[in-house]
C-alpha cells in the first residue's frame, strides 16, 4: 500500500470560509499549498474598488492563507490572474510590483467575460510550496 501524503485544511479569520461553502479556500498537500481562486469579495460589496485595489485585496488574502499554512509570499511561485477587462493589465501589473519583489512569481493573465459577482474585476489563482523560497532563486 502506498504511503498517503498528509493533507491539512487551513483556515484563517482574515479570509472567510463560509460553513455552507462547497470548496476549501486552502489545502496543504505535502509541501504544496493549494488555494481556491480569490476575489475581493466581500470588500468589493462594501466599497467601489478599482482594479488596482481589488488586486491588492486579493493578494493580501492569498498572503494570509499562505501564512496560515506556514509559509510566506516568497513561497508563491505562480499566479493565474483573470480580469474582466484586459485593458486593466497595467493596474494588475502595478499591484504585483507593489506587492512582490523580484524575482516575481510566474504569471498568466487571462481576459474573461465575467466573474461570480458583477462588481468583481479580478480573480487570482495562486500556487505555492513550503519547500521553495523565490528569494533564493538563481539567474541562469
Q: What's the whole-number mean pLDDT along residues 71-85?
A: 98
- What is the CATH classification number for the domain harbouring 35? 3.30.1330.40
Q: Is residue 139 part of a domain?
A: no
Report yes or no on 140 lying in a domain.
no
DSSP E strand boundaries for the chain? 7-9, 26-29, 32-35, 76-83, 106-111, 122-129
In a domain, 2, yes or no: no
Domain residues for the domain of 46 are: 7-133
Edge-to-edge strand list for the sheet holding 76-83 = 7-9, 26-29, 32-35, 122-129, 76-83, 106-111
In this structure, are residues 26 and 45 in contact, taking their beta carbons and an 8 Å threshold? no
Is residue 75 a part of any domain in this protein? yes
**Under 8 Å CB-to-CB from 24, ≥6 apart: which residues?**
9, 17, 36
Residue 64 lies in a domain: yes
Kindly state whether residue 1 falls inside one of the protein's structural domains: no
Instruction: Give tens-digit pLDDT for 11-60.
Output: 999 999 988 989 999 999 999 999 999 999 988 888 899 999 999 999 99
pLDDT tens per residue, range 112-125 = 999 999 999 999 99
Number of domains making up the chain: 1
According to the model, what pLDDT value does residue 31 have? 96
Asked if residue 18 is part of any domain, the answer here is: yes
| 48 domain residue, yes or no | yes
Q: What is the pLDDT of residues 30-40, one digit of tens each?
A: 999 999 999 99
Q: Where are the strands (E) in 50-95, listed by range?
A: 76-83
Amino acid at each position: 500500500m502506498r504511503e498517503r501524503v498528509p493533507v491539512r485544511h487551513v483556515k484563517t479569520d482574515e479570509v472567510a470560509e463560509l460553513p455552507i461553502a462547497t470548496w476549501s479556500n486552502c489545502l496543504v498537500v505535502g509541501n504544496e499549498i493549494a488555494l481556491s481562486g480569490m476575489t475581493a469579495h466581500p470588500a468589493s460589496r462594501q466599497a467601489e474598488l478599482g482594479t488596482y485595489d481589488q488586486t491588492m485585496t486579493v493578494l493580501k488574502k492569498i498572503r494570509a492563507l499562505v501564512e496560515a499554512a506556514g509559509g510566506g509570499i516568497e513561497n508563491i511561485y505562480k499566479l493565474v490572474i483573470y480580469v474582466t477587462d484586459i485593458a486593466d493589465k497595467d493596474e494588475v501589473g502595478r499591484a504585483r510590483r507593489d506587492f512582490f519583489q523580484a524575482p516575481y512569481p510566474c504569471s498568466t493573465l487571462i481576459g474573461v467575460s465575467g466573474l461570480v459577482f458583477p462588481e468583481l474585476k479580478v480573480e487570482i489563482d495562486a500556487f505555492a510550496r513550503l519547500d521553495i523560497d523565490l528569494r533564493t532563486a538563481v539567474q541562469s
